[in-house]
Amino acid sequence: MTTNSACSLIDMETLERIAPIIRHTAHPLRLRILDFLSSQDEPQTVTAIIEACKSPQAIVSQQLRILKDQNVLTARRDRNHVKYSVANNNVLLLLDCIRRH
Amino acid sequence: MTTNSACSLIDMETLERIAPIIRHTAHPLRLRILDFLSSQDEPQTVTAIIEACKSPQAIVSQQLRILKDQNVLTARRDRNHVKYSVANNNVLLLLDCIRRH
DNA sequence: CGCGTATATTGTGATATAACTATCTATAGT
DNA sequence: ACTATAGATAGTTATATCACAATATACGCG
């Protein structure tokens, strides 16, 4: 009976639940969006995000949807603008990881 | 001239360099491998990793290669065994993120 | 209503990733 | 040399993702 030394491995269900969120977030443009949004204290319009990313509207919009689908971002309509903000602060730890090189 | 409030966004080159590493790591089985290896204080053989993951040999071997290609793991041969260990401690922060739910 | 601005969706072709089976190489022991 | 064990690689099919172009929707205003 080879008693395993460390027994507190993260269970597979958790890994399977979290991995896609991280995988979907780990994309240059989506990280940029996340970084930008987390740097602002107000939710930002799509136009502002497009500006910050210097990327085509359709592509940014797609990425926003992906992040929203993963519950990383939330969107709320404000008159004829849609404002996005970071929904899940856990994901911001990713950015910390990256900043620490 | 709309002086941008926060100017310290992570540059795109960095994001493009780091994103694939994170993306390749954010896979249930690969995270499990990483978690296992980081829980042991000695490098582990492929067989031990297979055991810890309860996954087929070929699949584990493939994942090990992917993690090695991303310089997340290193391997060294020890007689007729190959022992893997974590090469890049930064990536372990991912596991911390996950543990903190 | 009709137009402009803001944002979302769809369709497409190229490329990447996943899981799996089968096979191959290398080494150790006899 | 023969066999068993340890590990890596190749081939395959299904599915996912990418970037992009084109089009659609939604809202506010005159």
* CA-based nearest residue to B26, from A6, A23, A47: A23
For the stretch A19-69, pLDDT in tens is 999 999 999 999 999 999 999 999 999 999 999 999 999 999 999 999 999
For residue A5, is it within any domain? no
For residue B60, is it within any domain? yes
For residue B34, is it within any domain? yes
What is the spatial distance between Cα B29 and Cα B27, in angstroms, rounded to a whole number? 6
For residue B13, is it within any domain? no
Cα distances from B38 to residues A41, A95, B72, B91, B93, in angstroms, run 36, 22, 11, 10, 11
Cα distances from A19 to residues A13, B1, B11, in angstroms, run 10, 41, 24
Residues 39-58 of A with CB under 7 A from strand D: 56, 58
For residue A54, is it within any domain? yes
What is the value of pTM for the model shown?
0.91
> Chain B residues with CB inside 8 Å of A94's CB?
22, 94, 97
CATH assignment of the domain containing B56: 1.10.10.10
For residue A68, is it within any domain? yes
Number of domains making up chain A = 1
For residue B5, is it within any domain? no
Strand C close to A52 by CB, under 7 A: no
Cα distances from A94 to residues A35, A82, B63, in angstroms, run 10, 25, 22
The residue segments making up the domain with residue A80 are 19-99
For residue A14, is it within any domain? no
For the stretch B71-93, pLDDT in tens is 999 999 998 999 999 999 999 99
